[in-house]
Structure formats: structure tokens, C-alpha cells
Amino acid sequence: MSWNDYEISAEKGPFSIIMRVFFLFLIMGIIIGIIGYAISWFSETGKVAKEEFGARALLEKYEWFKNASATLDKQKADIQVYEKRISMMEEDYKNLPRNKWSREDREQCNVWKSEVAGIIAGYNGLVAEYNAQMAKFNWRFANAGMLPEGATEPVRRKYKEYKIE
């Protein structure tokens, strides 16, 4: 639009010039709104990237892996302790059928077996979660094999489920 267009509008009356100025501001507002929306979209993308890949997030994820790994190691050790107890009791009664065992020993063996089953279920559930988290794109940093300062061993890449033979 040229200045002559505004002079022609002014000659037509004040309503014509008001409409031209209104549409000019409307178009400028729409353009500024579009630019603002695009900038906020990029800003939100940056925030999400920072939340997922920032130092704090990486440290929390690394700590989760270390805690889960320690829990899995403890549960596996607990399973082995219970299995050793059960095998020792079965060794004590190896020549007797189970119905000839003392009542207390049968009950204790059953308690240990049910506790082992519970620990195995918890172990396998945590193994599934651990392996799923390790496979996620935003947790793959743990697969790099590099250790943070002070760490003595890397987090395990994958755990195997505990299977009863």
C-alpha cells in the first residue's frame, strides 16, 4: 500500500481509513502471533530435551540403574540362600517320603518355597523393567560403557530372568 491509497481512503471518509488501519494491525497481529507460536514450540522442545537429557536427568537414570542392579543382586542372593536351606532339609530327609517328615519341617519347607516363589516373581518383574528401560532411546547412555568418576564397574546391559529348573 502506498501513501496515495491512504489519501484516497481519507477522501472517501473516516470509516474507510479506520478500516485500512484496522486491517493493517490485524495482519501484523496475525504475523506476530504465528512467530510467537513458532518460538514457543521450539522453546518447549528445548525444555523437553533438557528434562530428558540434562545432567540431573542422566544422574537420576544412572542411579536408578545402580539401585535396580543392587536390588537384583540381593534378590538373587536371597534365592540362593533359600534354595540352599531347602536342599539341606531335603538332604536330611532324602530316604523318607515327604509325608514322613516332621510336621514342623514340612511347614518350614513350604514356607521357604513360597518365599522363594515370591522373591523370584519380584526378581523377574524388576528384570523386565530393567531390560525395558535399558532398551529405551533416552536411557541408552547406560549402554555406552563409560563410567562416571568414582564408579568401579559399569551397569549391566541386561539381566536374565530367573527360571526354576
Model pTM above 0.85: no
Q: 19 and 81 share a domain?
A: no
Mean pLDDT of 114-131: 92
Tell me the pLDDT tens digit for each residue of 57-79: 878 888 888 899 889 999 999 99
Give the residue numbers spanning the domain of 28. Answer: 3-48
Give the residue with greater pLDDT, 156 vs 86.
86
Q: 37 and 83 share a domain?
A: no
Q: 80 and 133 share a domain?
A: yes
Checking if the pLDDT of 141 tops 60, the result is no
Q: 134 and 115 share a domain?
A: yes
DSSP output for 35-91: HHHHHHHHHHHHHHHHHHHSHHHHHHHHHHHHHHHHHHHHHHHHHHHHHHHHHHHHH
Q: 35 and 60 share a domain?
A: no
Query: Which grid cell sits at 79?
Result: 534365592
Q: 67 and 87 share a domain?
A: yes
Checking if the pLDDT of 148 tops 80, the result is no
Q: 38 and 67 share a domain?
A: no
